Amino acid sequence: MNFDSTSLLAVHDFHAISFDDLLSLHSKNIATAQAFCEKLKAATVNKTQKTKAKKQTKDIMFNVKYMNDKQMKEWLSKHPDHQNNLSDNSDSDDTSPEALLKLLDINREVIKIPVNLIADAFQEEIKPRRNRQKDRKLKKQQELEELQRQTAEETALMPDLKKNEAEALNYKCNKLGLTQQIIKADGHCLYYAVLDQLEQRHSKQHFSSYNLPKKFEFCNDPEGFYRNLNAKTLRNLNVSYLKANRELFELMVFDDNTNKLQDFDVYCEKMENSGAWGGEIELSVFSKIFGCKIFILQESTQYSIGDEEMASNPELKLIYYKHTFALGEHYGSLRDKNITS
């Protein structure tokens, strides 16, 4: 999950916006960032993801604070009379940054405005201790802003991938007489999509033709199988088949990130007991288990997985999205247009 900085409220006119409105805007931006960080933390399932989420959270909050601080300094530079207004409302001649902060009644737990920003605006001489770590972060932030600027320029010249994909898939679905059934995006989308297809295209009469592994819990129990048919059951079934046919799949479990062969047992454990995304290996396994071909529709292509000669049961039909969903790659289910429920 990546934080979309465009969701933050921006200041378009530092002359026109009031000081209170600026503080309110900063508060809303921090709340938006904090809400995203909470969702980011909640989505973690292991120690590595938690560590990564913690670092990403620090970077996000630092970037938002840096933006707020930068805007505050810009606002103060546009309102040199702000000091006089504060002085007129005070019974004290003390115009130190600390006193001004007290007069402004800023909740520094929500919006932390460094004292040196106000001091700069009134030309107060404050010499904070040099913070090398902060200097490095500021340099990193400047480099990030430049990269974002360049990316924004490049993006403006790029086609709208989400829109193009939606138009292409809608056209193909209409031509094939299919309708898209949206599946929730939580890591189990492939299994939910297969589940929807089994409910739409298969029935109990097909159970006897299924190639269920002997160690699967419902191998000889069609009633139990359909009564407990859900994403978790399909994960267990898929992995049970993998383990029963280890020699066929052991050399196929590559890590897409490292392009190296994964440990087969570790792979099976991950696929059965986590929210790991399923892919073509899992689809190939389902094709063998359910004795059918699996049709995949994509923006630029369409193809089927499975052995034609062994496919005795109705074909399952899925749709694959690459740009439509914020989390990235996603599977959905394709129903015939005359099926409405």
Averaged pLDDT for residues 225-249? 96
Residue 248 has pLDDT above 80, yes or no: yes
Q: Do 65 and 179 reside in the same domain of the chain?
A: no
- Mean pLDDT score of the chain: 84
pLDDT for 104: 47
Helices (H), 258-335: 264-273, 280-290
Pair (175, 301) in one structural domain: yes
The last residue of one of the domains, among 127, 146, 169, is 127
Domain assignment present for residue 38? The answer is: yes
Domain annotation covers residue 134: no
Residues 6+ apart with CB under 8 A from 194: 234, 286, 316, 318
123 and 181, same domain (yes or no): no
How many domains does the chain fold into?
2
Q: Is residue 189 part of a domain?
A: yes
Residues 322 and 248 in one domain: yes
Please tell me whether residues 186 and 43 are part of one structural domain: no
Q: What percent of the chain lies above the pLDDT cut of 90? A: 44
One domain for residues 63 and 187: no
Q: Is residue 96 part of a domain?
A: yes
Q: Of 205 and 100, which is predicted with more confidence?
A: 205
Number of H helices and E strands in the chain, helices first, is 13, 7
CA distances from 10 to 67, 70, 264 (A): 10, 12, 49
pLDDT in tens, 139-182: 999 989 988 888 787 767 667 889 999 999 999 999 999 999 99
Q: Is residue 230 part of a domain?
A: yes
Whole-angstrom distance, CA of residue 228 vs CA of residue 224: 6
Residue range of the domain that includes 322 = 161-336
Predicted local distance difference test score (pLDDT) of residue 188: 94
- 146 found inside a domain: no
CATH code for the domain in which residue 205 is found: 3.90.70.80
Full 3-state SS string of 188-231:
CHHHHHHHHHHHHHCCHHHHHHCCCCCCCCCCCCHHHHHHCCCH
Q: Are residues 213 and 94 part of one domain? A: no
User: What's the pLDDT tens digit per position in 20-64?
Assistant: 888 888 888 888 888 888 888 888 888 888 888 888 888 888 888
Judgement on whether residues 26 and 86 belong to the same structural domain of the protein: yes
- For residue 149, the surrounding DSSP H or E stretch is helix 132-157
**Residue 307 domain-assigned (yes or no):** yes
pLDDT of 118 > 60? The answer is no
228 in the same domain as 113: no
Q: What is the dihedral of CA 103, 105, 107, 113, to 10 degrees?
A: -30
Same domain? For 231 and 109 the reply is no
Asked if residues 41 and 50 have their Cβ atoms less than 8 Å apart, the reply is yes
- Spatial neighbors of 111 by CB under 8 A, at least 6 apart, are 23, 26, 27, 30, 68
Residue 8 has pLDDT above 90, yes or no: no
Residues 112-133 have a mean pLDDT of: 54
Domain boundary among 127, 153, 180: 127
Would you give the distance in Å from CA 252 to the centre of its chain?
27
pTM: 0.54
Best-predicted range by mean pLDDT among 9-18, 73-82, 114-123, 208-217?
A: 208-217
Q: What is the DSSP string of 2-53?
A: ---GGGS---S-TTTS-HHHHHHHHHHHHHHHHHHHHHHHHT--SHHHHHHH
**Does 240 map to a domain?**
yes
